[in-house]
Structure 1
């Protein structure tokens, strides 16, 4: 079997023994190019997860170092994943959930796509369910532009990141608010996009298992299906709930703005400290500057903030949404976007 010693697979587990953990590990062991190591960090499982992990560690393919850790106290998703990443040693880190299925060429294709030094490679994942949970899969080509990633993210199981990207991620002690308001994969993808160093493989390389008990499962919402009646409903909701939801949105985007400013400071510090600064991605670029201005508008209310949002939504209307949208539809959606976003973020209200 071929092997890439530079690749570390990082998996976090929690009570996954009966939830397809074996199937995921089998898909890793069946890769066309094996990783140098698999680092698994368990967050205090009370089932047989550790027994399953130790079983697979004993039968790992030759040359693959399986290292297993278990937290003495629960750390939660963000701290657990970042802690596990820092324990890995490979230059390239492939993030892994405990219940998906990787297609055989995932590691090979993503590592090859990062050969020129790009900070992150993301692939597509196709959801499926064997429990009857509703799933939707948009087959259009997505985008991973920084502006788009303010409102969505590339899921962790789709990501392979360069170890040096961790330099740009604050610890929970340094920026606790971003840890409270979003997930680790939002931080890693946003940082890579801010550095203008993220690449998409427009192919499904992961099958994402969906079931109601999954930590990332989101209940199916018929209002999000793209129809004119749903658009009208979301605009009406935004207009009538603006005053209630907007303060929560302001706080949400304030944490993202502070995080982006952290990335910029770290990128400029690394540029100054390096003797080969030209080879290091920097956040000193046009889209980053506009992104900060857009987030500043998202952090405020009033007519001036709304007009500022319209300005940047219109300017970036072709990358604001999941996929490219032609005018005049893109222009109309950009103008309605401030109000439709209120519905999308209504879940924040009273969230602690």
Structure 2
């Protein structure tokens, strides 16, 4: 978002509470998906056929444009185009996938369906059906730093370890206070992903959740040969869903086991438990990895809105503010999409399709 505004000629001051890339940006899975992470059939029920189709197309365009931006800026973040496969491995999952496939096809959204033989040949899973997707993978930490550097090169001023302590506003301007001083601006963009203590009145719009990620030790070559093609990103239709992808050093990264965000005092204990759970659940998909040990486990907090889409734009209770909260997808695509929507909001050049992301929906 900082880069998007700076590249558009806006004078940007970016305040980071800790260090750039050390929060949820750096702890993400690094998957750049071409979908919003919410089932089309569910979106159609909540925002209608036209709205769901528009959201799907917006995310597909954002995934392509985000990858193109990283290439154009020559950000060194291990960007690679990757196919994806949403696999149904149980009868219940197959029924959900079938409903999803029918809804997408009826709406004109591309939804290539794969059979059991194709699934087995590509990702070595005993699935009954799968939907094909596309996207890219990145190192999210390196991407964050690269975009921050690009923003700085275009005039943005960055301050780390500078949390906002208070924000006040008048009819014409907004003032942000930190421990070291204050900044007066025409607008403030809150791109924290979830409501902070400064915006307690917005908490009611969201459910606070945590997702968990586990990185395995390097997988021995003999086992790797049994796990299918390493280029494909695999997602299942379990609830909550899992995502698994290979990293360049022969390790598997798996995410999932989402739950209500735990109390801070229980956080470390829950991470240990969920790390073990993810390794077990991965072994149910790929029995050959049984006994493989996790190298690292961590969590990433997020908030979810009622329909699963992020809330992007202004809120009537906060003049001169723009927000982006509630991207619950395991993908980083929503961050790029939000930057474009926020930029249009700032210049008052809104696209009709942006309305589905508003707080008023």
TM-score over 0.5 (shorter chain)? no
Greater helix share, 1 or 2? 1
Give the structure-1-normalised TM-score: 0.22
Give the structure-2-normalised TM-score: 0.22
Q: Which has the higher contact order (CA 8 A, sep 6+)?
A: 2
